[in-house]
Amino acid sequence: DAGVIQSPRHEVTEMGQEVTLRCKPISGHDYLFWYRQTMMRGLELLIYFNNNVPIDDSGMPEDRFSAKMPNASFSTLKIQPSEPRDSAVYFCASSPGQGREKLFFGSGTQLSVL
Amino acid sequence: RKEVEQDPGPFNVPEGATVAFNCTYSNSASQSFFWYRQDCRKEPKLLMSVYSSGNEDGRFTAQLNRASQYISLLIRDSKLSDSATYLCVVNRFNKFYFGSGTKLNVKP
């Protein structure tokens, strides 16, 4: 299995631009999570999906952030407009669920907003 | 109060030393427990699950104390390659909560 696949690996953009991060979970996993990691705040859960349905988006910082999962093999996290404080590593992770809760991470997207 | 609390370290130990990390969790309804390892600029990776009876995987031993709501990780005969950040993780109703991590530096 290829594991969780994220793209791009690195994104550098200017303040005010739209940023879209992409994730392909492991096939057969029912849960998909988006995390953000910074030195100051550690790993923060932004949103998670179960069977493509958003379950908890209480960690999404504000309306500039949105996430979708149109099908079982693809999810996006969008930031519009981006701000310098959004600079962080964004991880996507998936989990089988159904009592097998182990979490598997993608390699992350390093986002820099100038 | 944070869901999961860990000592950030760093723990600086010589090769061959035994080192122990603890973490505490705040919600007694937490259901499953894990240690993850994260190398610099990499994604977290599962090191081991933690069971109430305690479990061992080679040089690594994990313990769970539900009454006191703490989790421990013991590393014996530490290697240079053990240098990393160790993240304590709890799961409750399919939601994973991460500690901020404990940094370990193993020196030659």
CA–CA gap between residue B8 and residue A88 (Å, rounded): 19
| pLDDT (tens digit per residue) in A33-78 | 999 999 888 899 999 999 999 999 999 988 999 999 999 999 999 9
pLDDT at A78: 97
Rounded to a whole number of angstroms, the distance from the CA of A30 to the nearest CA of chain B is 10
User: If you average pLDDT over every residue of chain A, what do you get?
Assistant: 93
Q: Does B9 touch chain A (CB under 8 A)?
A: no
Spell out which residues of chain B touch residue A107, defining contact as CB-CB under 8 Å: 42-43
Quick check: B92 pLDDT over 90? no
Tell me if B88 sits within 8 A of A42, measured CB to CB.
Answer: no
Mean pLDDT of chain B: 94
Report the distance separating Cα A32 and Cα B95, nearest Å.
Answer: 10
Residue B100: list chain A partners with CB under 8 A. 42-43
B2 pLDDT above the threshold of 90: no
Tokens representing A43?
Answer: 């790993």
Instruction: Check if the beta carbon of residue B97 is closer than 8 Å to that of residue B89.
Output: yes
What is the model's pLDDT at position B51? 85
Q: Output the CA–CA distances (angstroms, integers) from residue B35 to A5, A84, B21, B75, in the order listed.
A: 22, 32, 10, 12
- Please give, rounded to a whole number of angstroms, the shortest distance from the CA of B32 to a CA of chain A: 8
Range 36-95 of B in CB contact (< 8 A) with A: 36, 42-46, 49, 87, 89, 91, 94-95
